[in-house]
Amino acid sequence: MMINYKEQIAKILVEAEIGLSLEEIKEIIEVPSDSKMGDYAFPCFKLAKVLRKAPPMIAKDIAAKIADNALFEKVESVNAYVNMFLSRDAFMDHVVSEIVKTGKNYGRSEMGKGKKIIVEYSSPNIAKPFHIGHIRSTVIGNAIYKIYDCLGYETIRINHLGDYGTQFGKMICAYRHWGNKEDVIKEPIKTLLSYYTKFHVEVETHPELDDEARATFTALEKGAPEEVELWQWFRDESLKEFNRVYDMLGITFDSYAGESFYSDKMPRIVKELEEKGLLHESQGAQIVDLEAYGMPPALITKSDGSTLYLTRDVAAAVYRKEHYNFDKNIYVVASQQNLHFQQWIQVVELLGYEWARDCIHVPFGLVSLEDGTMSTRHGRVVFLEDVLNRAVEQTREIIKEKGVNTESLEETAKAVGIGAVVFQELSNNRIKDYVFSWNKVLNFEGETGPYVQYTHARACSVLRNAGEDLVNKASQLDNIDFSHVTGDAAYNLAKLMYEFPNVIIDAAEKYEPSVVTRHLIDIAQGFNRFYHEEHILVPDEAEKLAKIALVKAARDTIANGLGLLGIKAPEKM
């Protein structure tokens, strides 16, 4: 088990009788902004009131009390801060050994054991193209799944396909008016999309088309054979195309139960709402009044009696609780739907289900194009598959130019090209909007996926050059003298790797994969700095072994981190 240094320091401070509890002290201990000031710091401002003494005096006293503890190399007080420097030899020995021992499992934990978590993500609308906007939910959701999985949670991945609603009435109508079977078979989604677009043009001059579409959807909902057959066909063809992209991204799901799956589970909810006296009639529709919660009413059924999106989400949540008995039910869905989620989760709470707040909306910002918001309807879209293909193509060219890894060119080009796109997507806080840019997505220098993958490949290369025997010897950890790797660069790298497991937990609590992404960049930077500052494969064997152990630890940590993001870590690139 890795030592919890913060906890150790807190215990030392408790023993020093500074007048605070262990928990209080742990809250206050921090990592200084600049590592020159120490590894850990204890600001004494809060103690000033209790002790009625100037903070710098308190800091000085505390520093004197704990300075001779073996954990520290040095303790000094700077103004109101007690700055603590860990003993480097012991730290390097402990941390690097621990990582080398756990290897591919470094960062894993059992904290989620016995808990079940649902992640709903991707959820594209069928018969519509999978465009660059869909990458967000898909890739963020996948990373959140992997992060929770890594923490020992049992996970269920759901692709809540948008496979229902009046839009399919429109689609079927459009197909009947202008459709051609052969065209659809040849290029399903692009063809269906063109029909859909045409529908929206035609409806401007023929408003009766809307009524026809509504009637068609009602027929579909009632199970009319011809409508159902067409719908099923559109659905199958769309999934085939989506799966091509999921394969490229290495993403799979446990369930594709989409909106249509819940169509027969809604009457029960409507009835339950009615029985609990929550349903009111308003302008012909059935609503749940949410004014007391500062929200507009939740529409449960339309005036024609058919149901809505919101009703389906309530039904889906109830179904999932009964079917999976989740501890957390996470929805990775665009921030545009914030209000929608607040509304339906409130409705679930009003139904009296105490698990309502275990349903968590994880929102993310909007992707737009340089010439405006993406619009499938107006044909203003960038296809995700095209983006991935271009990234792979560019990577292929770069690899050929460098000539480092020609034996598995295709595989590597895919890993790096697609990795670049995914990494880019996961590097900012998910709530931020952004404008899609080819330049940015095809840039492989600086804080990018290829940079981290390159660092990994470089570490692999060093280990290859070291030779299998020495790497094995280092992995045994027998009598390795870690005093050879206590330089600033090596020490800084080890500190970053030490934080890795905490970073994963932090990312899980915040539902924020970018926390992992950012930390991976830091580790890669730390490694590259070390690489440049120190010669690794030196003649002296003792020194060489310690350095090989450090490199191996870095290699494994980076590989594990990339794995959490759903990105491959090739050994050569």
Partner RNA sequence: GCGCGUGUAGCUCAAUGGAUAGAGUAACUGACUACGAAUCAGCAGGUUGGGUGUUCGAAUCGCCUCACGCGCACCA
Least gap, CB of 421 to RNA (angstroms): 12
Which member of 60, 128, 170, 544 is catalytic? Answer: 128
Least gap, CB of 154 to RNA (angstroms): 28
Task: Give 225 or 294: the residue with its C-beta nearer to RNA.
Answer: 294
Task: Give 191 or 455: the residue with its C-beta nearer to RNA.
Answer: 455
Least gap, CB of 443 to RNA (angstroms): 7
| Closest by CA position to 395, among listed 563, 230, 547, 570 | 570
Task: Give 451 or 511: the residue with its C-beta nearer to RNA.
Answer: 451
Task: Give 424 or 560: the residue with its C-beta nearer to RNA.
Answer: 424
Least gap, CB of 219 to RNA (angstroms): 15
Least gap, CB of 185 to RNA (angstroms): 26
Least gap, CB of 242 to RNA (angstroms): 15
Task: Give 117 or 516: the residue with its C-beta nearer to RNA.
Answer: 516
Query: What is the rounded CA–CA span in Å between residue 14 and residue 20?
Result: 7
Q: What is the 3-state secondary structure (H, E, C) of 127-190?
A: CCCCEHHHHHHHHHHHHHHHHHHHCCCEEEEECCCECCCHHHHHHHHHHHHHCCHHHHHHCHHH
Query: Residues 423, 424, 425, 428: what is their CA dihedral angle, to the nearest 10 degrees?
Result: 110
| Closest by CA position to 122, among listed 321, 314, 255, 312 | 255
Least gap, CB of 299 to RNA (angstroms): 5
Beta carbons of 263 and 221 less than 8 angstroms apart: yes
Which member of 60, 115, 131, 186 is catalytic? Answer: 131
Beta carbons of 356 and 326 less than 8 angstroms apart: no
| Closest by CA position to 220, among listed 203, 235, 239 | 235
Q: What is the 3-state secondary structure (H, E, C) of 411-444?
A: HHHHHHHHHHHHHHHCCCCCCCCEECCHHHHCCC
Is residue 131 flagged as an active site residue? yes
Query: What is the rounded CA–CA span in Å between residue 264 and residue 530?
Result: 61
Task: Give 351 or 442: the residue with its C-beta nearer to RNA.
Answer: 442
Beta carbons of 109 and 503 less than 8 angstroms apart: no
Beta carbons of 413 and 395 less than 8 angstroms apart: yes
Beta carbons of 65 and 16 less than 8 angstroms apart: yes
Query: What is the rounded CA–CA span in Å between residue 269 and residue 351?
Result: 9
DSSP string of 520-562? HHHHHHHHHHHHHHS-SS-S-HHHHHHHHHHHHHHHHHHHHHH
- Residue 252's alpha-carbon distances to 135, 142, 188, 561, in angstroms, are 14, 9, 22, 19
The residue type found at 89 is D
Task: Give 349 or 447: the residue with its C-beta nearer to RNA.
Answer: 447
Catalytic residues: 128, 131, 134
